[in-house]
Amino acid sequence: MMMPTSTPEANTNEATLLPALKTTELMPYLPHRYPFLLVDRVTHHEQGIRIEGYKNLTMNEGFFQGHFPGMPVMPGVLQIEAMAQLGGILMAHTPEGAEMLGLFAGLDNVRFRRMVEPGDTLEMSVSVVQLRRRIAKLKGVATVNGQAVVEADMMFSLMPKSEATLSG
Protein backbone atom coordinates (compact mmCIF):
# COMPACT_ATOMS: atom_id res chain seq x y z
CA MET A 1 0.00 0.00 0.00
CA MET A 2 1.33 3.42 -0.94
CA MET A 3 1.63 6.23 1.53
CA PRO A 4 -0.58 9.31 1.16
CA THR A 5 0.60 12.16 -1.02
CA SER A 6 2.98 14.70 0.40
CA THR A 7 0.93 17.68 -0.74
CA PRO A 8 0.25 20.22 2.03
CA GLU A 9 -3.50 19.56 1.90
CA ALA A 10 -3.00 15.89 2.77
CA ASN A 11 -0.73 16.64 5.73
CA THR A 12 -3.04 19.00 7.57
CA ASN A 13 -5.59 17.87 10.07
CA GLU A 14 -7.95 20.57 8.88
CA ALA A 15 -8.96 19.65 5.34
CA THR A 16 -10.97 22.20 3.40
CA LEU A 17 -14.48 20.84 3.10
CA LEU A 18 -16.17 21.72 -0.17
CA PRO A 19 -19.95 21.80 -0.62
CA ALA A 20 -21.95 18.80 -1.78
CA LEU A 21 -22.79 18.87 -5.49
CA LYS A 22 -25.90 17.70 -7.29
CA THR A 23 -25.73 16.48 -10.89
CA THR A 24 -25.96 19.85 -12.63
CA GLU A 25 -23.35 21.33 -10.28
CA LEU A 26 -20.77 18.58 -10.87
CA MET A 27 -21.07 18.63 -14.67
CA PRO A 28 -18.60 21.53 -15.18
CA TYR A 29 -15.86 19.30 -13.73
CA LEU A 30 -16.42 16.34 -16.09
CA PRO A 31 -16.63 16.04 -19.87
CA HIS A 32 -19.13 13.16 -19.55
CA ARG A 33 -22.84 13.56 -20.30
CA TYR A 34 -25.86 11.28 -20.33
CA PRO A 35 -25.85 8.35 -20.77
CA PHE A 36 -22.22 8.15 -19.66
CA LEU A 37 -22.30 10.50 -16.67
CA LEU A 38 -22.13 7.97 -13.84
CA VAL A 39 -22.14 10.22 -10.75
CA ASP A 40 -25.46 11.57 -9.49
CA ARG A 41 -24.25 13.50 -6.47
CA VAL A 42 -21.16 14.39 -4.46
CA THR A 43 -22.00 14.07 -0.76
CA HIS A 44 -18.65 14.78 0.94
CA HIS A 45 -15.52 16.44 -0.40
CA GLU A 46 -12.26 17.08 1.44
CA GLN A 47 -10.33 19.19 -1.05
CA GLY A 48 -7.34 17.35 -2.49
CA ILE A 49 -7.79 14.40 -0.12
CA ARG A 50 -11.06 12.47 -0.43
CA ILE A 51 -14.46 12.60 -2.09
CA GLU A 52 -17.67 10.63 -1.66
CA GLY A 53 -20.67 10.37 -3.94
CA TYR A 54 -23.21 8.01 -5.43
CA LYS A 55 -24.96 6.72 -8.52
CA ASN A 56 -28.60 5.60 -8.24
CA LEU A 57 -29.32 2.69 -10.53
CA THR A 58 -32.70 2.07 -12.10
CA MET A 59 -33.88 -0.51 -14.60
CA ASN A 60 -33.95 2.35 -17.14
CA GLU A 61 -30.13 2.32 -17.40
CA GLY A 62 -29.34 1.26 -20.97
CA PHE A 63 -26.69 -1.25 -19.97
CA PHE A 64 -29.19 -3.29 -17.95
CA GLN A 65 -31.09 -4.13 -21.15
CA GLY A 66 -28.27 -6.27 -22.51
CA HIS A 67 -26.16 -7.09 -19.44
CA PHE A 68 -27.73 -9.59 -18.84
CA PRO A 69 -31.28 -10.22 -20.12
CA GLY A 70 -33.24 -11.80 -17.30
CA MET A 71 -30.48 -11.03 -14.75
CA PRO A 72 -29.55 -7.32 -15.03
CA VAL A 73 -26.11 -6.51 -13.60
CA MET A 74 -24.10 -3.27 -13.81
CA PRO A 75 -20.94 -4.04 -15.81
CA GLY A 76 -17.80 -3.96 -13.68
CA VAL A 77 -16.05 -1.61 -16.10
CA LEU A 78 -18.84 0.94 -15.52
CA GLN A 79 -18.45 0.59 -11.75
CA ILE A 80 -14.77 1.45 -12.20
CA GLU A 81 -15.68 4.31 -14.57
CA ALA A 82 -18.10 5.75 -11.99
CA MET A 83 -15.31 5.80 -9.38
CA ALA A 84 -12.94 7.34 -11.95
CA GLN A 85 -15.43 10.12 -12.68
CA LEU A 86 -15.74 10.86 -8.98
CA GLY A 87 -11.94 10.92 -8.85
CA GLY A 88 -11.95 13.39 -11.73
CA ILE A 89 -14.04 15.78 -9.66
CA LEU A 90 -11.60 15.34 -6.75
CA MET A 91 -8.62 16.09 -9.02
CA ALA A 92 -10.31 19.15 -10.54
CA HIS A 93 -10.17 20.77 -7.10
CA THR A 94 -6.41 20.40 -6.66
CA PRO A 95 -3.78 22.93 -7.77
CA GLU A 96 -2.23 20.25 -10.02
CA GLY A 97 -5.52 19.25 -11.62
CA ALA A 98 -7.50 22.49 -11.88
CA GLU A 99 -7.04 22.98 -15.63
CA MET A 100 -6.36 19.33 -16.40
CA LEU A 101 -8.31 16.39 -17.73
CA GLY A 102 -7.61 13.06 -16.04
CA LEU A 103 -7.10 10.15 -18.43
CA PHE A 104 -6.84 6.54 -17.29
CA ALA A 105 -3.22 5.39 -17.23
CA GLY A 106 -3.65 2.16 -15.26
CA LEU A 107 -5.59 0.02 -12.86
CA ASP A 108 -4.24 -2.26 -10.15
CA ASN A 109 -5.68 -4.43 -7.41
CA VAL A 110 -9.19 -4.42 -8.90
CA ARG A 111 -11.59 -6.65 -6.98
CA PHE A 112 -15.28 -7.18 -7.61
CA ARG A 113 -17.08 -8.40 -4.49
CA ARG A 114 -20.77 -8.66 -5.45
CA MET A 115 -23.20 -7.79 -8.21
CA VAL A 116 -24.76 -4.34 -8.58
CA GLU A 117 -28.39 -4.49 -9.69
CA PRO A 118 -31.29 -2.17 -10.58
CA GLY A 119 -32.55 -0.39 -7.46
CA ASP A 120 -29.09 -0.28 -5.87
CA THR A 121 -27.28 2.90 -4.91
CA LEU A 122 -23.59 2.63 -5.75
CA GLU A 123 -21.93 4.60 -2.93
CA MET A 124 -18.35 5.53 -3.80
CA SER A 125 -15.34 6.92 -2.00
CA VAL A 126 -12.13 7.98 -3.75
CA SER A 127 -8.94 9.11 -2.00
CA VAL A 128 -5.68 10.59 -3.26
CA VAL A 129 -2.81 8.20 -2.64
CA GLN A 130 -0.13 10.09 -4.53
CA LEU A 131 -0.05 13.21 -6.67
CA ARG A 132 3.03 14.27 -8.60
CA ARG A 133 2.97 16.77 -11.43
CA ARG A 134 0.92 15.06 -14.14
CA ILE A 135 0.41 11.65 -12.50
CA ALA A 136 -2.24 10.92 -9.90
CA LYS A 137 -2.80 7.68 -8.00
CA LEU A 138 -6.19 7.25 -6.37
CA LYS A 139 -7.86 4.52 -4.32
CA GLY A 140 -11.53 3.87 -5.01
CA VAL A 141 -14.03 1.77 -3.08
CA ALA A 142 -17.73 1.34 -3.84
CA THR A 143 -20.41 -0.21 -1.66
CA VAL A 144 -24.09 -1.08 -1.82
CA ASN A 145 -25.95 -1.14 1.50
CA GLY A 146 -22.63 -1.02 3.33
CA GLN A 147 -21.24 -4.09 1.52
CA ALA A 148 -18.13 -3.68 -0.64
CA VAL A 149 -18.85 -4.28 -4.33
CA VAL A 150 -15.65 -3.07 -6.02
CA GLU A 151 -12.30 -1.57 -5.14
CA ALA A 152 -9.41 -0.44 -7.30
CA ASP A 153 -6.16 1.49 -7.34
CA MET A 154 -6.43 3.91 -10.26
CA MET A 155 -3.70 5.86 -12.00
CA PHE A 156 -4.38 8.94 -14.11
CA SER A 157 -2.30 10.99 -16.47
CA LEU A 158 -3.27 14.65 -16.21
CA MET A 159 -3.53 16.41 -19.59
CA PRO A 160 -4.08 20.14 -19.99
CA LYS A 161 -7.67 20.78 -21.08
CA SER A 162 -6.31 23.16 -23.70
CA GLU A 163 -4.62 20.18 -25.41
CA ALA A 164 -7.73 17.98 -25.28
CA THR A 165 -9.98 17.86 -28.32
CA LEU A 166 -13.42 17.63 -26.77
CA SER A 167 -16.42 18.69 -28.77
CA GLY A 168 -19.64 19.98 -27.26
What is the per-residue pLDDT for 4? 40
Distance CA 11, CA 4 (A): 9
H helices of 29-124, where? Answer: 62-66, 76-92
Identified catalytic residue from 32, 45, 67, 93? 67
67 is catalytic: yes
Residue 136 three-state SS: strand
What is the per-residue pLDDT for 9? 42
H helices of the chain, where? Answer: 8-11, 23-26, 62-66, 76-92
Going residue by residue through the chain, which has 168 residues, state the pLDDT in tens, using 9 for 90 and above.
Answer: 333 443 444 444 578 999 999 999 999 999 999 999 999 999 999 999 999 999 999 999 999 999 998 999 999 999 999 999 999 999 999 988 888 998 999 999 999 999 999 999 999 999 999 998 899 999 999 999 999 999 999 999 999 988 876 555
Contact 109, 152 (CB under 8 A): yes
What is the per-residue pLDDT for 11? 44
Contact 101, 158 (CB under 8 A): yes
